[in-house]
């Protein structure tokens, strides 16, 4: 493409936007709304998944040993557990540490009345998983290890967290597809109207030898510009409002501040910026390209 042709098509694409300004504004507003909803939904989902991940990392499987087991065997068991790919870490809790924690949390000053450790056989490993949905596989394996007396798991918690993760994933995909379909449809309608308005002009251009590419390009550029602006506006709004909303939630629900761990605006926008721009420009390009290809024949 020659430079002059490029600037001509760019100019015509911009002219098309202003020529059909009400339809362009309608498409721009719809794409902005759709991508703003996408950004809000993405932020909510990512924070929810982050909270779930934090909760999953706090779910531990406790491994207790047979009475009289040697320290060497306990170390071996720990090494065997850590070799499992689903294991994040395994913390060893000695009998003394178990008693100190229990007495501090539940007995207080009454713990002084005990002359010996009543939890002397309660040394254990607290095993944390990378994926809590694989808890039962790990438990089955640990129970088969010689020297293990008992394995305590949080089966209900694991099932609940795994189910919530899957549900969030399915809902996310469904909503995103709906938003993309609506945006593409509106861009397509705007370009269709633009073609209808310029039908006679397009016919003349084709009769004097203009190629399909030359005729099509301004409309494609029009769609790309609308998509890009429609992505930039919600990104700006989201960036300004995100920290304020998170601060408001933390302030109003301070009781849950230890449970509600939110992602920073930088963590959210590292992915949200390129994804939103790609979606906006992609919707504009695909919507206009398909529509022009369908209606360009005169």
**How buried is 83 (Cβ within 10 angstroms: 0-12 exposed, 13-18 middle, 19+ buried)?**
exposed
Q: Give the span between the Cα atoms of 278 and 284, in whole angstroms.
A: 10
Across 96-175, where does the E strand assignment appear?
124-129, 148-152
- How far CA 154 is from CA of 81, 94, 149, 157, 293, in Å, comes to 18, 21, 17, 5, 57
What is the reported pLDDT for 168? 75
Q: What is the pLDDT of residues 50-90, one digit of tens each?
A: 877 777 777 788 888 888 788 888 889 988 998 888 888 88
Report the percent of the chain where pLDDT is more than 90. Answer: 1
Q: What is the mean pLDDT of residues 185-204?
A: 65
Q: What is the pLDDT of residues 113-168, one digit of tens each?
A: 565 665 666 788 888 888 777 888 888 898 888 888 888 887 666 677 777 777 87
At a CB cut-off of 8 Å and minimum separation 6, what does 117 contact?
A: 95, 96, 99
What is the reported pLDDT for 65? 87
**How buried is 220 (Cβ within 10 angstroms: 0-12 exposed, 13-18 middle, 19+ buried)?**
buried
Structural domains in the chain plus CATH codes:
3-55+160-295 (no CATH), 60-153 (3.30.70.3040)
Q: Comparing 287 with 224, which gets the higher pLDDT?
A: 224
Could you identify the residue written with the tokens 């449809």? 185
């Amino acid at each position: 493409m020659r430079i002059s042709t490029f600037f001509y098509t760019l100019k015509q694409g911009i002219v098309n936007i202003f020529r059909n300004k009400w339809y362009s504004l309608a498409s721009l507003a719809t794409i902005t709304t759709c991508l703003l909803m996408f950004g809000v939904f993405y932020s909510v989902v990512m924070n929810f998944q982050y909270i779930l991940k934090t909760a999953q990392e706090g779910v531990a499987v406790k491994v207790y040993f047979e009475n009289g087991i040697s320290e060497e065997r306990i170390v071996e068991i720990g090494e065997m557990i850590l070799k499992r790919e689903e294991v994040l870490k395994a913390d060893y809790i000695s009998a003394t540490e178990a008693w100190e924690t229990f007495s501090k949390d539940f007995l207080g000053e009454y713990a002084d009345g005990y002359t010996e450790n009543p939890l002397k056989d309660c040394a254990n490993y607290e095993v944390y998983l990378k994926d809590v949905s694989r808890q039962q596989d790990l438990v089955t394996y640990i129970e088969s290890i010689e020297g293990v007396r008992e394995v305590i798991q949080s089966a209900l918690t694991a099932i609940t967290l795994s189910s919530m993760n899957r549900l969030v994933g399915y809902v996310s995909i469904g909503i995103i597809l709906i938003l993309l379909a609506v945006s593409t449809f509106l861009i397509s309608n705007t370009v269709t109207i633009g073609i209808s308005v310029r039908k006679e002009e397009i016919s003349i251009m084709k009769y004097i030898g203009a190629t399909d590419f030359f005729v099509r390009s301004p409309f494609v550029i029009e769609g790309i510009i609308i998509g890009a602006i429609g992505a930039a506006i919600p990104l700006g709004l989201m960036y300004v409002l995100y920290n304020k909303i998170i601060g408001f939630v933390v302030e109003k629900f301070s009781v849950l501040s230890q449970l509600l761990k939110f992602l920073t605006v930088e963590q959210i926008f590292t992915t949200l910026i390129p994804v939103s721009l790609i979606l906006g420009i992609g919707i504009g390009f695909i919507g206009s390209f398909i529509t022009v290809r369908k209606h360009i024949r005169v």
